[in-house]
């Protein structure tokens, strides 16, 4: 369910100007790879970041999309 919400939020980036940036918090799960691939299609660079403050057991991760295509 959380990844579905992220996909909906990604749809809003169509209003983001070209070369704009986007950050989303996501939990790695079954649909994570599909979401990552979708971000790669929309942004020139996609980076993943797990904050140091995040629990090591947590699936929490941030995806950063740089330079919207």
Question: Does 8 qualify as catalytic in the annotation?
Answer: no
- Among residues 4, 25, 50, 67, which one is catalytic? 25
How many distinct structural domains can be found in the chain?
Answer: 1
DSSP letter (8 states) at residue 1: -
Query: What pTM value is reported for the model?
Result: 0.85
Which residues have a Cβ under 8 Å from the Cβ of 6 and sit 6 or more positions away?
Answer: 24, 26, 35
pLDDT digits (tens, 9 = 90+) for 17-69: 999 999 999 988 888 999 999 999 999 999 999 988 888 888 899 999 999 99
* Residue 27: CATH number of its domain: 3.40.50.150
Which residues form the domain of 22?
Answer: 2-68
């Amino acid at each position: 369910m959380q990844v579905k919400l992220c996909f909906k939020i990604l749809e809003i980036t169509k209003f983001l100007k070209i070369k704009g940036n986007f950050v989303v918090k996501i939990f790695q799960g079954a649909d994570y790879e599909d979401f990552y691939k979708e971000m790669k299609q929309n942004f020139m660079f996609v980076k993943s970041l797990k904050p140091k403050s995040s629990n090591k057991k947590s699936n929490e991760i941030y995806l950063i999309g740089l330079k919207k295509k």
